[in-house]
Structure 1
């Protein structure tokens, strides 16, 4: 049982870190944004997934390329947006406990709602009309006529969130959190005495629950379906990890994810998870039948895939957070109050301050480069990698040199 002295130290540590940036979390988020761009490039050239434009169909690429792109896409899909909700839950509770439900929700409406509205009402139609499908859409009418006559009038804009579906979902989660804290005030305050980092057994239980949740959701929303650009088939891990982040902040254990024991979850994910993925694909019939049985329904393939996906999500979230915390030099001495979070380096700060801009604006850049590269005679994997890296580099340069210099824009992007 935790002593009163330890509980007091936890409270001091929580107050010390409240509202402060955590360099290791910024670094993980920068990595995730980089992976987002590469995955969209992979989808563009493999056809395995949905994107604005797709250059190849899955049946038109060789089996080795399909397997590598398939693993890259599905492995990262299992965790990379989930960890963003994990961090989102942590920072949401920290803000809620400081500001109260009303101010917290107003702040989130501005921080998330303005970029979301800007993308749906401006960026999406501009990208689709001028970058993705200019030859197809211009004969149908001007941007003005299509925008007001179809995009707004028919409600198509509700499906135009693009990558900002994340902001939309996070805003909904924050609204529910604020409502819960208003109805039950103690939920918006740190837990008395704090709590310990969940044990391996508890985290495995969370993974099992997440798998069951995902399996159930996919009975109604199989993988590959969406509603207003929201893929509910993946929301099991998003919801669970957001709640886990909230609990980590409320219990005061989130910043304790720094031990070597936690980072060993990464080893487990790769040592167990990668072979498990291959077995599910091979024995699930990937070489002989379609993937429909894995996408949802009362099949063992759907259950196995949900279990693998949930184990990967929990393992990567815990393991990667711990590994990056160790890498950043977060040291745990006698008490949590003595954790030393060092200042980030210049590269880390550069990537971090531009990461959200890259997330928002990379679609236009990636699509433009994809069209310019149509004449390049390169293997599919090489082309996807080169185009993805180029899109990331150009977008982050534009973010630093242009977006951050527009008055009022840098606050939200």
Structure 2
């Protein structure tokens, strides 16, 4: 999702991070058919242990990072345009796409899963949604769940902001600035990880956060995602916060490698016979996810300081690509599921073909059309660098 800052004032490294946060979802979903540990739409004939390692490592931080950026840019837009305009913009570009794209991006997935089951002679296993929130719980958002969670985060953040300005008008800005300095300090990742750790210790899921995939709000999951959105919101209030995180980029990177490795080992994704207590690996998950977020933010603002048209292009295309990728991935997977090719070959081929088609459709159908103006908040010419 795009912002409207000029190339002179925008932080170009965040374009790369924004694109990565969404495009890694294509990698993650492309590997799902090859792991036996996680039920998926299509069961591939080739299975291995290593896809779960990659999936888990990505899942620990990807949506947290996305929500940090959403909160960061969200506060900037609200400050510039006002609350009413900000809400209207997010309603149009986040909530409306959820329901408009659902019939094309999510509904066909069940049909593809049924098609695959009939091809391989297996019974289609349908999720049991009865008794979990009624009509709200029965509406499966699929991979578009993040838009609904983001909408909830926006509303709650604005309500908290309103309450803070009403209850402590003199000190709310001071508290926010203090939080920004604490979060951007070397060990600020420990503070940022607290909401995530609360959720993981309640959910107790080894592969990472359990995302709410229906319209029914999930307060437990929302703690982690609202925490990430709030961190981004607070960091954007301090012009030097990202620079300070950039100064600690290599510390966060080393922390991320160690924390992620320990989490993968203690959760059993990498099996070496270590049996850690649940609170240990649940907390390590939070530290791994947040240290990866801070490492990527820090490295991007420290080293990716030059405007690169292809990075900006991918950043703009990433929203469309994520909305529509799963139908294409699943469609092609149905045709290659029975092939005895190496997993890396099959997954790479599917990723390349799917990404190429998504980029082509973005160029032809979205980039310079009303659809691009709707999703990205502006209309670009095919050769636009902005």
TM-score by length of 2: 0.77
Contact 1:41-1:384 at 8 Å conserved across structures: yes
Matched, 1:396 2:378: no
- Aligned pair count? 348
Residue 35 (structure 1) aligned to one of 9, 19, 24: 24
Cα drift, residue 17 of structure 1: 8.8
Of 45, 61, 66, the match for 1:84: 66
Question: What RMSD in Å do the two structures reach over aligned CA positions?
Answer: 3.7
Q: 257, 261, 266: which is aligned to 1:280?
A: 266
**3-state SS of the aligned residue for 1:200?**
coil
Going from structure 1 to structure 2, the CA distance change for 1:50 and 1:263 (only over 3 Å counts) comes to farther
Q: Which string of whole-angstrom CA distances, capped at 9 and with x for unpartnered residues, describes residues 29-61 of structure 1? A: 2122231111101112224435433325xxx73
- CA distance in 2 between partners of 1:311 and 1:37 (Å): 24
> Aligned residue for 1:212?
198
- Counterpart residue number, 1:256: 243
Corresponding residue for residue 107 of structure 1: 89
Rounded to whole Å, the distance in 2 between the matches of 1:211 and 1:157 is 25
Q: How does 1:177-216 map to 2 (within 5 A)?
A: 177-185=157-165, 191=173, 194-195=177-178, 196=181, 198-208=184-194, 210-216=196-202
Q: For residue 287 of structure 1, report the CA deviation from its aligned partner.
A: 7.9
Structure 1 residues 21, 166: CA separation in 2 closer, same or farther (over 3 Å shift)?
Answer: farther
What is the correspondence of 1:113-124 to structure 2 with a 5 Å cutoff? 113-124=95-106
Matches within 5 A, 1:204-353: 204-208=190-194, 210-218=196-204, 226=212, 228=214, 235-257=222-244, 259-270=246-257, 272-281=258-267, 301-329=277-305, 342=306, 344-353=307-316
SS in 2 for 1:354: helix
Unpaired segments of 5 or more residues in structure 1? 1-15, 138-153, 295-299, 330-341
TM-score (norm 1): 0.72
Tell me how far apart the structure 2 counterparts of residues 381 and 110 of structure 1 sit (CA, whole Å): 39
User: CA 1:262 to 1:224, structure 2 compared with 1: closer, same or farther past 3 Å?
Assistant: closer
| Runs of 5+ unmatched residues, structure 2 | 119-133, 377-386
Q: Determine helix, strand or coil for the equivalent of 2:236.
A: helix
Match for 2:323 among 349, 360, 374?
A: 360
CA 82–89 in structure 1, closer or farther in 2 if over 3 Å, else same = same
- If you compute each CA radius of gyration, which structure gives the higher value, 1 or 2? 1
